[in-house]
Structure formats: structure tokens, C-alpha cells
């Protein structure tokens, strides 16, 4: 679409985790080899917002969790500086990987380098505080939410802003009252799935109905499409921005885009596609052929997003593809060997249909689920014994 270049320019990126070869380049002060020809996108913006996907810390105290632990050298703060990033969205599932120590190290680094943060705090109220950006007489509020996936520090001192429907309602309503525009950033979704679930679409549309002017999501490590809902843009997944992962070279992991918003009375936007972390480390523009492929795929994704029936069908296909993995999670035994044997029919299912029905009721019923969550979250000896 034609951009209104006289408005306030805000650039938003997906997941920024400066590990691997990118960390090595940062420690050698070779920032140009990180941003390469993509540096032109980072120039001329009034504000750049990134999802800082890991703590910047020397801490070695990993918190208990499932999934990988991520962190980067504190000197990587210079990468954010070099890129001109002014706001780090911290509501995500890795910022607490090294507990309160890793987080406080990161917060202190950001503060010392004039990089604001949003989506995190010492209390629910503090984590819910919007970042306010003022320019040309306009106030723009930025809210940041995350799926509840290890988003509190184990000692309870810090928490990310949870993607809770009640909190979403009050925070957007309050931000709407005192600001000209409200931007909502969400770290949520099904990893490696390139479309929103029907539930996710309903939730993000609900955010627009509450008063958000734009919703932008990341976390899935695969870029998604977007839609214009009630004249407001909703971006369902930006993909990775900088996330160097050896086992993911030349895959969907290495593709994404940033969104440039131009805000006046309305919001114009531009998608700028990128590639990162392939044979050469760092981030790059796409060539002409790659750009054409990106645009074709975005149109395809958008066509599904705009059709509720197709979206439901695609999500059903996704559910079928991950069912073996989730079945392994809920069986009484755990481990790669046992799961492999069960999937090949060489190991019996130990969970009966009746037990699965019981679990369904406990998880689906809000009151039962609340009790189950408290028990699973508890470290008290009367609930859980190692």
C-alpha cells in the first residue's frame, strides 16, 4: 500500500536472540556483519521495537523448565544499540530462562543504554504498564502480552504480562482512554505453525474490538499472514528477526519480515521481508526471486486467514500432525525410546479412554483446570515430592 511518509514511523521486529555466530560477531564488534544490507531498514524510524527473546547475562543458574535455555553475552546489548532499538518487548517464554539474576542483568543493561522495556515487572500491575511514545502531539501506547509458558521467575520476584482475557480487556480499555493509538504486541501461538488457530484469530480480533489499533504477534518461528479487521491491521506472526540456530539453516526458521507502521490519523504499513542465519550469519534483504516467493506465500496465507472454514481445516491438519507428540506427553511414561515404540505399535497405550476423558474434563473445565494448575505449579512438599 502507498505509505503516508509524514506520520510517526514505528518499526517492529520478530524474535531477536543474539546467540551463535551473531554473538561471536557482536563480541568482535563486527556489527556490520550482523545487519549487512538490511541496515537501511533500521534508519529513519522514530521508534524500533524488538522482541528480546533471551536474557543478556553471565548467570549460569538455569531455571527448571521444559525446552531449551537461551542467553547471550551482556556485550550483545551493543547490537540493540547499533540497530537503533528503543524498546525491548520482554513478555516471552525465554526471558526468565536464568531466573531473576538473568533478568535483572538484562534490565540494568537496557536502562544503562537508554533502551526502554515493556511487558515485564515486579508485579502484575507493573508488567501490565504500557510503554508510552509521544511525538507530534500524539501519544502511542504499546502493550505486550505472552502465553503463560515459564513467564514468571522461579522466586516470584518478576513476571511477564500474561495473555489473560480479563487482563487484555482492562489494559486495552485503559490505554485507549488516555492515548491516541494503542499497539498490542503478543508473544504466543503454536511453534512452527504458519497460521493462527481459530481461537487465536478470535482473540486478536477481540483486541481490536476493545480498542487496539494494531496487533502484532511473534513466537512461532515461522512467519504468518495478516488481515485488516474493522479497518485495523492484525499481523499473525513476523517470524524470526535474528536467531542463529545451527540445525535450522535454510529453513522456514530463517525467513521472516519486519513491519513498518506509519501512524497519523490512521495506520499505514509496509512489510519488509528478510532472511537470516543461513550459510552467512546475520540478516539480509531478499533477492528478487525470493521476494516474489515471499509475496506469493503471504497472499496464500492471507487467503486462508480470510476464510474461517479453510482456517479451521488447516488447524485440524496441524492437530493431526502433532497428535503423536502430544499423545506421548500425556502417557504415563516419558522418553524418546518409549514414545517411538508406542508410535510403532510395539508398546501398549497405558492411558485408557476413560482416563483420557477424565483429563479432558479437568483441563477443559475452568474450575478443575485452576486446581490442576496450582498443583502442578506448586513446589510445596505436600503437593509434589521429587
pLDDT in the model for residue 180 = 98
Cell numbers given for 178: 488516555
Residue pair 297/194 in contact by the 8 Å Cβ criterion: no
| Sequence-distant (≥ 6) Cβ neighbours of residue 19 within 8 angstroms | 54, 70, 71, 72, 243, 244, 245
* 8-17 vs 47-52, strand pairing mode: parallel
Q: Quick one: pLDDT band at residue 360, thresholds 50, 70, 90? A: confident
Q: For residue range 58-97, what is the model confidence (pLDDT) as tens digits?
A: 999 999 888 899 999 999 999 999 999 999 999 999 999 9
Nearest to 239, CA basis, from 14, 4, 38: 14
Nearest to 171, CA basis, from 258, 114, 91, 52: 91
Percent of the chain whose predicted confidence (pLDDT) is above 70: 91
Domains of the chain in start order, with CATH, are 8-306 (3.60.21.10), 320-377 (no CATH)
Mean pLDDT score of the chain, rounded to an integer?
Answer: 91
Dihedral sign from CA coordinates of 349, 353, 358, 363:
positive
Phi, psi of 41 (to 5 degrees): -70, -25
- Give the pLDDT mean for 194-203: 94
Phi, psi of 201 (to 5 degrees): -60, -45
- Give the pLDDT mean for 170-186: 98
CA torsion, ordered 108, 113, 119, 124, to nearest 10 deg:
40
- Which residues, listed in sequence order, are joined to residue 381 by a DSSP beta bridge? none
Q: For residue range 273-324, what is the model confidence (pLDDT) as tens digits?
A: 999 999 999 999 999 999 999 999 999 999 999 999 999 999 989 888 887 7
Residue pair 18/72 in contact by the 8 Å Cβ criterion: yes
Say whether pLDDT at 225 is over 80: yes
Determine the longest span between alpha carbons in the chain, in angstroms: 68
Total Cβ atoms within 10 A of residue 217: 24
pLDDT in the model for residue 357 = 80
Q: Name the H helices within 45-186.
A: 77-83, 99-112, 124-127, 165-178
Q: Quickly tell me which residue has 525465554 as its cell.
A: 94
Cα–Cα distances in angstroms (integers) from residue 370 to residues 48, 232, 355, in the given order: 38, 34, 19
Amino acid at each position: 500500500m502507498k505509505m503516508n511518509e509524514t506520520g510517526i514511523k514505528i518499526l517492529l521486529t520478530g524474535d531477536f536472540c543474539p546467540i551463535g555466530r551473531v554473538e561471536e560477531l557482536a563480541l568482535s564488534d563486527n556489527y556490520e556483519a550482523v545487519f549487512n544490507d538490511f541496515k537501511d531498514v533500521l534508519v529513519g524510524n522514530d521508534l524500533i521495537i524488538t522482541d528480546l527473546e533471551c536474557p543478556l547475562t553471565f548467570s549460569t543458574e538455569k531455571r527448571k523448565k521444559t525446552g531449551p535455555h537461551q542467553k547471550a553475552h551482556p556485550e550483545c546489548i551493543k547490537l540493540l544499540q547499533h540497530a537503533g532499538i528503543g524498546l525491548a518487548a520482554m513478555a516471552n517464554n525465554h526471558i526468565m530462562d536464568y531466573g531473576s539474576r538473568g533478568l535483572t542483568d538484562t534490565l540494568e543493561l537496557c536502562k544503562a543504554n537508554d533502551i526502554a522495556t515493556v511487558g515485564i515487572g515486579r508485579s502484575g500491575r507493573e508488567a501490565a504498564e504500557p510503554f508510552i511514545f509521544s511525538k507530534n502531539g500524539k501519544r502511542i501506547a504499546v502493550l505486550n502480552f505472552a502465553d503463560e509458558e515459564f513467564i514468571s521467575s522461579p522466586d516470584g520476584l518478576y513476571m511477564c504480562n500474561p495473555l489473560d482475557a480479563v487482563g487484555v480487556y482492562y489494559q486495552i480499555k485503559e490505554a485507549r482512554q488516555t492515548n491516541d493509538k494503542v499497539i498490542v504486541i503478543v508473544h504466543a501461538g503454536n511453534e512452527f505453525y504458519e497460521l493462527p488457530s481459530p481461537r487465536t484469530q478470535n482473540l486478536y480480533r477481540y483486541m481490536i474490538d476493545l480498542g487496539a489499533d494494531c496487533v502484532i504477534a511473534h513466537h512461532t518461528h515461522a512467519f504468518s499472514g495478516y488481515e485488516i479487521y474493522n479497518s485495523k491491521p492484525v499481523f499473525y506472526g513476523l517470524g524470526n528477526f535474528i536467531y542463529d540456530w545451527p540445525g535450522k539453516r535454510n529453513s522456514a526458521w530463517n525467513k521472516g519480515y519486519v513491519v513498518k507502521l506509519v501512524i497519523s490519523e490512521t495506520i499505514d504499513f509496509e512489510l519488509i521481508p528478510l532472511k537470516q542465519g543461513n550459510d552467512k550469519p546475520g540478516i539480509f534483504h531478499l533477492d528478487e526471486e525470493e521476494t516474489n516467493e515471499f509475496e506469493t506465500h503471504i497472499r496464500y496465507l492471507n487467503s486462508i486467514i480470510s476464510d474461517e472454514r479453510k482456517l479451521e481445516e488447516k488447524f485440524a491438519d496441524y492437530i493431526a500432525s502433532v497428535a503423536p507428540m502430544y499423545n506421548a506427553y500425556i502417557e504415563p511414561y516419558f522418553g524418546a525410546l518409549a514414545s517411538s515404540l508406542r508410535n510403532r505399535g510395539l508398546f501398549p497405550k497405558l492411558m485408557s479412554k476413560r482416563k483420557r476423558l477424565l483429563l479432558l474434563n479437568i483441563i477443559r473445565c475452568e474450575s478443575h483446570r485452576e486446581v490442576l494448575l496450582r498443583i502442578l505449579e506448586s513446589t510445596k512438599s505436600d503437593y509434589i515430592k521429587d
